[in-house]
A = this chain, B = another copy of it.
């Protein structure tokens, strides 16, 4: 049996690539492609920013003139892996209009221009694939599109940022300082050029924005989602976690509520040992999906780094050979779901001064502990109090979700009665009223 006889073979196109960016991902792709001659995809030209930088590839491959790639009729695929989201969007837009398929890793650009990018795909009919922009080597978009296209997702929880996960792991396991852990992540090539993007949760919420589209048909904006990063997680929190046999992770999550709407957030969370996400260490990512038919699934793999990211880009390129497109099935073929801001969260809050905490915003407080260096409480709060204020990110306050943090309105009342009787009164008592 030879390749020529394969019935599936006939519709393979030969792919001529114009590559934008030759950094961690771009150079990774160049190397990976060189090791996979069977793919029959060639990089014809690479556009970079600084002509002067030394490159590990023939000089004639490079240009700084984007139109050399975008106007080349022979180039049928643009791979866009640059770190400038404004320039990236211009490149992708032009590529579409010039009849080229696009593979991209730029989550920021995709999240910020989601609606326009959907529109452009519909207008031009070009493929736009961006698996590497979600969890790098984990095929989460592909599986949401193809495998869960007809399944009902109850919830999806994920660690989608490799750098923060690396930093948290090093802080917990090797007792590295936050700063040293960040420097390591940068040296290893999986931190964003601008660390703020990772550390303050922007990267994670960007990814979550378009993963919500593939999971639920939701179209939203990163800034509309409740999110923060790990910038306020401190050694005290780590110690509290340790005492309870938990770890802290930056978790992106979404859950379909009883009223059919979806609750979503990207926040640090305490993770118990039996949670699959506790398995996700260092720069790995992980995705836990609970659905109506398939039940519970867990996908785990490297969420950043040169080769893992390039492998996802390669996989997208490979899929273009048979004209693969995302169909955005949950958006176009089903009734898309809506986001809601009407739910409660069970949160842990550590702080220096109780006076800085708006205790009256809590439905109730279940636990409080005052130690010499720092204090913490565990309580239930409506998300609107987090969405409309910055108090929980300021004054050295650290907010971390409890396990199973999302509480629906319906559940609240039963819980309320019990909790007020138990812990609330105790709290009240100890603090002498609030």
A393 close to chain B: CB less than 8 A: no
Known contacts: A150-B315, A295-B308, A301-B297. The answer to whether A122 contacts B6 by CB under 8 A is yes
A147 within 8 A of B: yes
**Is the C-beta of A245 less than 8 angstroms from some C-beta in chain B?**
no
Whole-angstrom CA separation of A333 from B38 in the bound complex:
7
Contact, CB under 8 Å: B301 / A36 = no
The chain B residue sitting closest to A302, CB to CB, is: B295
Contacts of A299 in B (CB 8 A): 297-300
In the bound complex, CA of A295 to CA of B304 (Å):
11
Q: Which of B3, B291, B315 contacts A332 (CB 8 A)?
A: B3
Contact between B293 and A310, CB atoms less than 8 A apart:
yes
A241 at the interface (CB under 8 A from B): no
Q: Tell me the residues in window 333-388 of chain A with beta carbons closer than 8 Å to chain B beta carbons.
A: 333-334
Residue A142 at the chain B interface, CB threshold 8 Å: yes
In angstroms, how far is the closest chain B Cβ from the Cβ of A72?
24
Residue of B36, B122, B301, B314 touching A298 (CB-CB under 8 A): B301
Given A5-B122, A292-B307, 13 more A-B residue pairs with CB atoms under 8 Å apart are: A7-B121, A8-B325, A35-B152, A38-B334, A137-B293, A137-B294, A139-B146, A149-B315, A149-B318, A150-B318, A276-B279, A294-B307, A297-B299
Interface size class, chain A? 35 or more
- Once bound together, how far apart are the Cα atoms of A9 and B305, in whole Å? 35
Are the C-beta atoms of A308 and B331 separated by less than 8 Å?
no
Interface string of A293-331 (1 = CB under 8 A from B): 111111111100101101110110011000001111001
Chain A 140-179 interface 0/1 with B at a Cβ cutoff of 8 Å (1 = within): 0011001101111000000000000000000000000000
B150 and A143 form a contact (CB under 8 A):
no
Q: Which 10 A-B pairs have the closest CB atoms?
A: A293-B311, A298-B300, A137-B294, A297-B301, A7-B125, A294-B311, A36-B150, A8-B327, A295-B302, A8-B325
Q: How far is the CB of A315 from chain B (nearest CB, A)?
A: 5
Q: Counting CB contacts under 8 A, is A1 at the interface? A: yes
Residues of B within 8 A of A119 (CB): 1
When distances are taken between beta carbons in the complex, the residues of chain B under 8 Å from A7 are 121-122, 124-125, 325
Q: Judge whether A188 is part of the interface by a CB distance below 8 angstroms.
A: no
The reply to whether the CB of A422 lies closer than 8 angstroms to some CB of chain B is: no
Q: A36-B150, A39-B150 are in contact. Are A314 and B293 (CB under 8 A)?
A: yes
Instruction: List B contacts of A301 (CB < 8 A).
Output: 294-298
Q: Which residues of B contact A2 (CB under 8 A)?
A: 332
Instruction: Give, as a whole number of angstroms, the nearest-CB distance from A154 to chain B.
Output: 13
The yes or no answer to A138 lying at the interface (CB within 8 A) is yes
Per the bound structure, the CA–CA distance linking A6 and B121 in Å amounts to 9
Q: Which one, B1, B276, B284, contacts A300 given CB within 8 A? A: B276
Tell me the nearest residue of chain B to A289, going by C-beta. B301
Task: Check if A297 sits within 8 Å of B146, measured CB to CB.
Answer: no
Whether, in the assembled complex, A420 has its beta carbon less than 8 Å from a beta carbon of chain B, the answer is: no
Closest approach, in angstroms, between the C-beta of A289 and any C-beta of chain B? 9
Specify the chain B residue showing the minimal Cβ separation from A126: B7
Asked if A32 lies at the interface with its beta carbon under 8 angstroms from chain B, I say yes
Query: B6 to A315, Cβ gap below 8 A?
Result: no
- Whole-angstrom distance between the alpha carbons of A279 and B7 in the complex? 40
| Cross-chain contact B295 with A307 (CB below 8 angstroms) | yes
When distances are taken between beta carbons in the complex, the residues of chain B under 8 Å from A118 are 1
**Is B297 in contact with A300, judged by CB distance below 8 angstroms?**
yes
> In A1-41, which residues have CB < 8 Å from any B CB?
1-3, 5-9, 32, 35-36, 38-39
Q: Which of A96-148 contact B (CB under 8 A)?
A: 118-119, 121-122, 124-125, 137-139, 142-143, 146-147
For A280, the closest partner residue in chain B by CB is B298
How far apart are the CA atoms of A291 and B307 in the complex, in Å? 10
B3 touches A333 (CB 8 A): yes
Cα distance, A332 to B12, chains bound together (Å): 14
